[in-house]
Amino acid sequence: MQTTTDAHYLELVGEIYDAALNPEKWPDILQKVGQFTQSSKVVLFTNLHLPSQGGFYFTWGIPQAVTQQYVDHYQPYDVWTQVGIQKGIFCEGVVTLGTELVPHQQFLESKIWRELLVQADMARLCTGIVFGMDNQYAMPVGVSLFRGVDEPPFDEQDRQKLQRLLRHFSRALGVMFQLRDADLQIAASRTALDGLRSGVLLLNAQAEILLANRTAQRILQSQDGLTASENNTLITQCAETQFALQQILQTCLQHDLMEVPHFSQSIAIDRPSGKAAYKLFFSRLPEHNDFVAQPSSAHAMLFITDTEQPLKVSAELLKTTYGLTEAEVKLAQQCLVNDSMPAITTALNLSENTIKTQLASIYQKCGIHHRAELMKVLMALATD
């Protein structure tokens, strides 16, 4: 008679192979991996390569802000990875417990725990190598399981569970790398949008919605002042607002990329429910971006914020994670509440040239190149 655990294992294996054809399923699959291994958080990622280097990160249970900070700043302080490289554990099929790399108390004294991982209570590790450093067909990839500081340590039984799954991860990801590795990276970027508290839409040159993250889907489905038409374009419930929306979209989609990018004008969307209006921000996307395979298919990114629950970013977080100055922090925070260059220059009492100079510095420190990326970073770090 098949045990419940075996049944769950076989079901999970089947879904892992499904992801070879649909990489956007990985987050849901990682949730089931977490349930199967009694782990509170799971990540499937390129251990040694950041997204900017062609890598990818799929997570479950890990706040987007923590992932963002790790990618942008804390990877060099990852003592587990550092010791793993020194000990040569990046070999295919190897599963290692965190305490075999760094004693638990020593880890709790490390910079990455004290400043970052404590935010998500990622204190205990069990990690397996899907592809090792010597694989000639794929970059190193790992699956890491995490538990909190007060949860039971991982043991041999946990190691065996993850080891059983690794061969299936290897085969599924092998198909992805051979057939559609670009789709894998794109799926990781799109999945990251689902972790944002604000709504995000990707639009094509005809202003049609190519992608809506979960928050945006929820907003559109509520039909509280903003929804999608049968042609998959945005519709408001006010003719005047609809005209203004179309004008702004036209301006954004025809923006001259040779100019220094300005903030597109925002628009307020009144809600029949009586709740505070939504505020829409628009940003032109470069021809090559992280969200689509073919150049030029996604032309703009639209952000929907709920003015009843304004987003805020900790000044200390921006300083410690990205090294922003006090002036740059104030400008970054203004980007979440003001849309136009005149509004920002007025709020900060600075010239437009000074704002442009500070923006260029922020982009350089955050490792980004345009406003859509800046908004994504800020929203990932945003709190109530």
Name, in order, each residue with C-beta under 8 angstroms of 340's C-beta and a sequence gap of 6 or more.
Answer: 262, 263, 265, 266
Annotated domain spans of the chain: 4-194, 199-381
Domain 4-194 shares a fold with domain 199-381: yes
Superfamily for the 4-194 domain = GAF domain (3.30.450.40)
CB atoms within 10 A of CB 97: 18
Residue 312 is given by DSSP the state B
Distance CA 311, CA 139 (A): 36
Predicted local confidence at residue 217, as pLDDT = 93
Superfamily for the 199-381 domain = PAS domain (3.30.450.20)
Predicted local confidence at residue 290, as pLDDT = 59
Predicted local confidence at residue 383, as pLDDT = 64
Strand partners, 236: 226
Nearest 5 degrees, angle CA 77-CA 114-CA 384? 110
* Pair 263, 370: CB distance under 8 Å: no
What letters, b where the CB count within 10 A reaches 16 and e where it falls short, cover 40-56?
bbbbbbbbbebbeeebb
pLDDT in tens, the chain (384 residues): 344 467 788 889 888 888 877 778 889 999 999 999 999 999 999 888 877 777 888 999 999 889 989 988 899 999 999 999 898 888 889 999 999 999 999 999 999 999 999 999 999 999 999 988 877 667 889 999 999 999 999 999 999 999 999 989 988 887 777 655 556 666 777 777 777 778 888 888 888 998 898 889 999 999 999 999 988 999 998 999 999 898 888 877 765 433 333 445 678 899 999 998 888 888 777 665 556 555 447 678 888 888 777 677 888 888 888 889 999 999 988 887 776 788 888 889 999 899 989 999 999 888 887 777 788 788 777 765
- DSSP-assigned letters across all residues of 105-120: HHHHTSHHHHHTGGGG
Tell me how far apart the terminal alpha carbons of the chain are, to the nearest angstrom.
50
Predicted local confidence at residue 72, as pLDDT = 86
Distance CA 207, CA 212 (A): 13
* Pair 298, 292: CB distance under 8 Å: yes
Predicted local confidence at residue 24, as pLDDT = 81
